[in-house]
Structure 1
Amino acid sequence: MNQASLYQHANQVQRHDAKLILDEFASTLQWRADGEDALLDVGSGSGNVLMDFVRPLLPAGGQLVGTDISSQMVHYASKQYQREERTSFQVLDIGCERLPEGLGGRFDHVTSFYCLHWVQNLRAALGNIYSLLKPEGGDCLLAFLASNPVYEVYKILKAKEKWSTYMQDVERFISPLHHSLNPGEEFSQLLNDVGFVQHNVEIRNEVFVYEGAKTLKDNVQAICPFLERMPSELHEPFLDDFMEIVISMNLQQGDKNEDQKFLSAYKLVVAYARKTPEFVNNVLLEPPHQKLPKGIN
């Protein structure tokens, strides 16, 4: 997923969900009294979600660090937002065994939107997020896919001989919670395991409507990890096959002669966690460490 300029203009779902979640949790985040909050964002991509929706929440004296595993994304974001004060971007693999020197224990907040479903070792990622926060405390706000129909499309494409060469490791790019019977409980346990003392996890059932085939194709092209492995002349045939499978799964409304729309019903993990016990109980939807009510997962 290294096509930064394309991603900058084709991440409607990511922008939609990030804005809603940040609007909801803006007053829940533990902002410092002195206004000198340090915030690190995991998986910032091209940077527009971070700068449009996270940056305005940060106090004027705050420091912002955007990170991504892709050096191309980091380069693009650094250039795009080079005039922004107290803002920097750097490469970070949040699933790494050891954080880069100088990052551990530096931040009051960690945010991440539409990134953690790319990380197979969620325990390692959450351990690193915990370590990024200051020893005296801090919090994190995380949102990522538990499941999405695109994963089933990928598996069907992999079974086709003409695409299998490029998709042998397809499971690497499917959310580690996609097959979970109870993703909310599983993720809650991981938060407990790495040391977060209070947290809330929701699994939200969402539907996003793509207006037209081109909109859906552009989104797929921006995030599909397999296209960059193929010769460019195969991109359009791959996207055509992708669309055929989507239609066969009855995920579209209308036809080519009408205003065709494509429906993506997905499950989104939304998690808020604090490193230390000092917090206002009523900001959580449930008491810490208890199972979510039936029906939420």
Structure 2
Amino acid sequence: MNQASLYERANQVQRHDAKIILEEYATILQWRSDGQDSLLDVGSGPGNVLMDFVHPLLPKGYQQLVGTDVSNKMVGYANKCYESYARTQFQVLDIGCDRLPDHLKGRFDHVTSFYCLHWVQNLRAALGNIYSLLRNEGGDCLLVFLASNPVFEVYKVLHANKKWAHYMQDVDQFISPLHYSTNPVEQFTQLLSEAGFIHHNVELRSEVFVYEGVNTLKDNVKAICPFLERIPSKQHEEFLDDFVDVVIAMNLQQDLVQDHNNDRLQQRFISPYKLIVAYARKSPDFLRNMLSEMGIKKSSKGLE
């Protein structure tokens, strides 16, 4: 995932979903009346989703926009690409960390995240940190991530192959913590409540993305596969070929179709996946303390 420029070219799925979801939630996000909004994005990668789809929604006089990522290389790439944008910066942050940096606590009106939280095994810690990022007066978050995806099953199959097992010993760390959940909506809703959010809406969306051709599929794997950088470069193509073979064995290949660019037949691959889309609001500290004193522990689940 450290190949920032490749990821930027290969993240069609992320861009497609982020665009649609932000269009839906643009009027639901609680924008400040004075236009001085501060927003932090979790897992910004190369920054193009944040800057293409979130940035345009901000009031012209927004206070600050902070993109974060666990990867130093991604952050460096994003800062270089968007250095001309005022009041905008990218910095390293592990949202699943045990201790959130003090300078980030309570500074933001909004937190967004697209296609990141499925990489975070400790969702409880991540949501606690997101809650702490929001201002004490309250704020909201929009979180979008994979509940399940066939790529996780592909990883498990490749891990069972002696050729690749050595490079994939921690495979479970790269499978969504909700992938095997029998009720991911209920599970994530409970985690939001435990973090302190009092208004939340969680939905599970079933989506399908089609990769046009083997090269498109391989480019996507190159961009997002966390194991490839561990494998010697001379074996990369072999790994990618094995990846495609597993995808075909899982019946995720469609019939050959005509490629009008070079007049040849090409393979198409389908990827059915389930997406968690969650919107939640933080209660002002005074309200949370009052509810706590009254012994009200369970949060309401609807939007007001």
User: What SS class does the counterpart of residue 241 from structure 1 fall into?
Assistant: helix
Alignment check: 8 A CA contact 1:7 1:46 kept: yes
- Structure 1: stretches of 5+ with no match in the other structure: 279-286, 291-297
Q: What is residue 214 of structure 1 aligned with on the other side?
A: 215
Q: What is residue 49 of structure 1 aligned with on the other side?
A: 49
TM-score normalised according to structure 2 size: 0.91
Alignment check: 8 A CA contact 2:196 2:283 kept: no
Name which of 270, 275, 287 aligns with 2:282: 275
* 2:246 is the alignment partner of 1:234: no
Aligned residue pairs: how many? 282
Distance 1:184 1:217 in 2: 31
Q: Could you report, residue by residue, the CA deviation over 1:162-194 in whole angstroms, capped at 9, with x for unpaired residues?
A: 000000110000000000000000000000001
Q: What is residue 263 of structure 1 aligned with on the other side?
A: 270
TM-score normalised according to structure 1 size: 0.93
- 1:80-91 equivalent positions in 2, closer than 5 A: 80-91=81-92
Q: What is residue 21 of structure 1 aligned with on the other side?
A: 21
**Which of the pair has more CA radius of gyration?**
2
Alignment check: 8 A CA contact 1:200 1:288 kept: no
Q: What is residue 116 of structure 2 aligned with on the other side?
A: 115
Q: Which runs of 4+ in 1 moved over 3 A?
A: none
Q: What is residue 126 of structure 2 aligned with on the other side?
A: 125
Letter in 2 for 1:175: S
User: What SS class does the counterpart of residue 217 from structure 2 fall into?
Assistant: helix
Alignment check: 8 A CA contact 2:158 2:243 kept: yes
Distance 1:269 1:206 in 2: 11
Alpha-carbon offset, residue 259 of structure 1: 3.6
User: What SS class does the counterpart of residue 197 from structure 2 fall into?
Assistant: coil
Letter in 2 for 1:146: A
* 2:25 is the alignment partner of 1:3: no
* 2:170 is the alignment partner of 1:164: no
* 2:301 is the alignment partner of 1:289: yes
Q: What is residue 187 of structure 1 aligned with on the other side?
A: 188
Aligned residues: CA RMSD: 1.4
Q: Could you report, residue by residue, the CA deviation over 1:4-38 in whole angstroms, capped at 9, with x for unpaired residues?
A: 11101000000000001000000000000110100
Distance 2:82 2:225 in 1: 25
Distance 1:60 1:15 in 2: 23
* Percent identity of paired positions between Structure 1 and Structure 2: 72
* 2:59 is the alignment partner of 1:59: yes
Q: What is residue 295 of structure 2 aligned with on the other side?
A: none
Alpha-carbon offset, residue 104 of structure 1: 0.3
